[in-house]
Amino acid sequence: MILQFYNTLTRRKEEFQPLVPGRVGMYVCGPTVYDYAHIGNARPVVVFDVLYRLLKHVFPQVTYVRNITDVDDKIINTHNETGEAIGAITNRTTRAFHEDMAALGALAPDIEPRATQHIDQMIHMIAALVDAGHAYAADGHVLFSVPSWNAYGRLSGRNRDEMIAGARVEVAPYKSDPADFVLWKPSAPDQPGWDSPWGRGRPGWHIECSAMSTTYLGETFDIHGGGQDLIFPHHENEIAQSTCAHHQKPFVTTWLHNGFLMVEGEKMSKSLGNFYTVHDLRKEFPGEAIRLVLLQTHYRQPLDFTKDGVELARHTLDRFYGALRQTADIDDMDVAGPAVPDDKVSAALADDLNTPLALSHVHELVSSLNKAERDAGAARLRAVLLASGRLLGLLQNDPEEWFRWQPAGVQTLDEATIEARLQERMKARKSKDFAAADAIRDELTSAGIVLEDGPSGTIWRRV
Ligand code: AMP
Ligand code: ZN
C-alpha cells in the first residue's frame, strides 16, 4: 500500500518511504505535565494514534516515541502556587494523562521518555553544539547561535524579523543575537537543577526533544509530529540543534502537523468558560464519542469542538454499535482468513490520513451489515467492520458496555434492577397483562432506559 502524507518541510503531499525498508521511527511531542490535558492537547494524541495504527498495519516494525516534559517553568510555577512537590505534580498529571488518553482509545507509545531521565544526553548534545561553534555560554546560560546556521527558518518559512517577533524572545543582555534561544539556563537553589559544565541548571524545552528523539530513533529518523503551533519556534529549533550537533546530518524526513482546535466557536480560554479538560469531558461523554469528534475533521483543518458535536458523535456510535449488537450472535461464525480492514477505509487513511472519508466508508459498512442476511457473508462483513474500526481506534468496546455507559454521578437504575424489571415485563406479557408490561416500559423510559424488542429478545440501553 502506498502512503502519502503532507510534509510541512516540503509543503506538499509526498509518498512516504521509511529510511530503512520495513522500519519506521516516529516521534511526537508529548505533554508538559503540570495540569490536566485539555481537548486541544488530545487532538495530536488521537491524530498520531491513527497514524501509528496505520503504520503498524503497513510496516513490520514501527517505533513510536512520545516524550513527557517533566521539567519546565510551568511545573515550577504550579509548585510555587500550590506548594505541591514537583515530583508529585508530574507523577499525578502523567497518570491522569495516561488515563485520559486511554479513554480516548489512544494506544500507548512504544517508548515514553521523561525529560528528567535524559539530562546527560541533553548536556552531551549542548556540549557538541558549543564545540561545533553553534552555541555559546553566557551568564550561566547556554544559547544556540541562530546566525551560525543559515538553514534556520526552513520549516516555518519565516524571515528573520517574523522569527524574532513570533518567538516573543526576550532581548536579554546575555544574548549576542535577539533570535538566539536557550539550551541551558541556571537554576536557583530552590529550583530543580543538575550539575553541568556551565553550572547548576536545567535544560530549555527544545533541547529535550532533540536529545530524546535521537536517543531512541537515531540521528536521522522518519516522522516527527505535533500541533501546528509547534512549527515555530519549537520544531524549527529542534531541527537546528539536531542537525548542527550531528555534523549536518538531516534530522527528520517527514514533518506532520495537526491543525488547531477551537471550542464552541472560540479560542479556548479559562475566562470564556470554554476550557474543556479531557478529564471533565469524560464525566459527561464516553471517551470514544470524544475521539470520534476529533476524527470527523481532517487533521490539517481547524476543528471547532462543541458539546453538541460530541452528543451527535455519540448517536453515530449508537448506530455503529447497534449493528454490532444486532449481529453479535454471528460473531463466532467461521470467517475465511484473517479479518483485514476494508480497502476503502485503509486507502482513505493512506491518503494523508483522510479520516472523514474513512468514516464515511465505515457508515457504508454498517448499512450493509444492517441489511445483510445472517450468514457467513454477514459474519465476514462484521469482522471487516471491526478490523476497520481497529485501524481508526473505534468500535473496540463490547457493544453491551457501550449502551450501558452513563455519565459520572448520575443515579439511575443499576443493571441488576433493570434486568429484574425486564423479567417481570416478560412475565406480564406472557400472561397477556399488557397494561403491566407497558407500565414497566414507561417506568424504565423515565429512568433513561430505552427498550428495543427484537427477534432475539429485548435489549436495553441508556440514553
Ligand atoms: P503543550 O502542552 O501546550 O506543549 O501542547 C501539547 C500538544 O498539544 C502540542 O502538540 C500542541 O501543539 C497541541 N495543542 C495544544 N493546544 C492545541 C489546540 N488548541 N489545538 C490543537 N492542538 C493543540
Ligand atoms: Zn518537542
Distance between CA 223 and CA 221 in Å, rounded? 6
pLDDT in tens, 251-292: 999 999 999 999 999 999 888 888 999 999 999 999 999 999
Ligand 1 site, residue 405, Cβ cutoff 6 A = no
List the helix and strand counts (H, then E) for the chain: 16, 14
Cα four-point dihedral sign 374, 378, 380, 381: negative
Q: Is the peptide bond before 178 cis (omega within 30 degrees of 0)?
A: no
Residue in 26, 33, 43 to alter for ligand 1 test, most ligand atoms within 8 A of Cβ: 43
Quote the pLDDT of residue 159: 82
Residue 34: which of 69, 83, 61, 6 has the closest Cα? 69
Quote the pLDDT of residue 167: 61
Number of the ligand closest to the Cα of 227: 1
Q: How far is the CA of 100 from the centre of ligand 1 (A)?
A: 15
Q: Name the burial class of residue 181, with classes exposed (0-12), middle (13-18) and buried (19+) by CB atoms within 10 angstroms of its CB.
A: buried
Model-level pTM? 0.92
Number of the ligand closest to the Cα of 234: 2
Quote the pLDDT of residue 274: 87
Asked if residue 323 lies in contact with residue 394, where contact means CB atoms within 8 angstroms, the answer is no
- Shortest-distance atom of ligand 1 to CA 263: 19
Which one is predicted more confidently, 374 or 341? 341
Which one is predicted more confidently, 363 or 408? 363
pLDDT in tens, 222-250: 999 999 999 999 999 999 999 999 999 99
Q: How far is the CA of 210 from the centre of ligand 2 (A)?
A: 7
Quote the pLDDT of residue 169: 58
- Shortest-distance atom of ligand 1 to CA 230: 12
Residue 381: which of 91, 373, 425, 136 has the closest Cα? 373
Q: How far is the CA of 235 from the centre of ligand 1 (A)?
A: 13
Residue 197: which of 131, 246, 258, 262 has the closest Cα? 131
Q: How far is the CA of 235 from the centre of ligand 2 (A)?
A: 7
Q: For 418-434, what is the mean pLDDT? A: 93
**In the predicted model, is pLDDT for residue 334 greater than 80?**
no
**Which of 203-217, 246-260, 398-412 shows the lowest per-residue confidence on average (mean pLDDT)?**
398-412
Distance between CA 232 and CA 299 in Å, rounded? 18
**In the predicted model, is pLDDT for residue 1 greater than 80?**
yes
Asked if residue 237 lies in contact with residue 181, where contact means CB atoms within 8 angstroms, the answer is yes
Q: How far is the CA of 268 from the centre of ligand 2 (A)?
A: 22
Number of the ligand closest to the Cα of 258: 1
- Shortest-distance atom of ligand 1 to CA 41: 8
**Which of 32-46, 148-162, 214-228 shows the lowest per-residue confidence on average (mean pLDDT)?**
148-162
Q: How far is the CA of 258 from the centre of ligand 2 (A)?
A: 14
pLDDT in tens, 15-25: 999 999 999 99
Quote the pLDDT of residue 74: 95
Grid cell digits, residue 202: 536545567
pLDDT in tens, 122-156: 999 999 999 999 999 999 999 999 999 999 999 99
Q: For 333-341, what is the mean pLDDT? A: 77
Grid cell digits, residue 208: 529535550
Distance between CA 5 and CA 21 in Å, rounded? 17
Q: For 185-209, what is the mean pLDDT? A: 97
Number of the ligand closest to the Cα of 229: 1
Ligand 1 site, residue 230, Cβ cutoff 6 A = yes
Whose grid coordinates read 437504575? Answer: 413
Q: For 291-305, what is the mean pLDDT? A: 98
pLDDT in tens, 155-166: 999 887 777 776
Report the percent of the chain where pLDDT is more than 70.
98
Q: How far is the CA of 227 from the centre of ligand 2 (A)?
A: 10
Report the percent of the chain where pLDDT is more than 90.
84
| 287-295 and 307-326 helices, crossing angle to 10° | 110
Ligand 1 site, residue 297, Cβ cutoff 6 A = no
Ligand 1 site, residue 40, Cβ cutoff 6 A = yes
Distance between CA 260 and CA 228 in Å, rounded? 7
Ligand 1 site, residue 399, Cβ cutoff 6 A = no
Secondary element (H or E) of residue 143: strand 141-144
Q: Whose CA is nearest to atom 8 of ligand 1?
A: 41
Ligand 1 site, residue 43, Cβ cutoff 6 A = yes
Quote the pLDDT of residue 452: 87
Other CB atoms closer than 10 Å to residue 13's CB: what's the count?
12
- DSSP string of 385-435, one letter each residue: HHHHHHHHT-S-S-HHHHHH---TT-----HHHHHHHHHHHHHHHHTT-HH
pLDDT, mean over the chain: 94
- Shortest-distance atom of ligand 1 to CA 42: 8
* Residue 413 pLDDT grade (very low, low, confident, very high; cuts 50, 70, 90): confident
Q: How far is the CA of 448 from the centre of ligand 2 (A)?
A: 45
Quote the pLDDT of residue 252: 98
Quote the pLDDT of residue 331: 73
**In the predicted model, is pLDDT for residue 181 greater than 90?**
yes
Quote the pLDDT of residue 170: 64
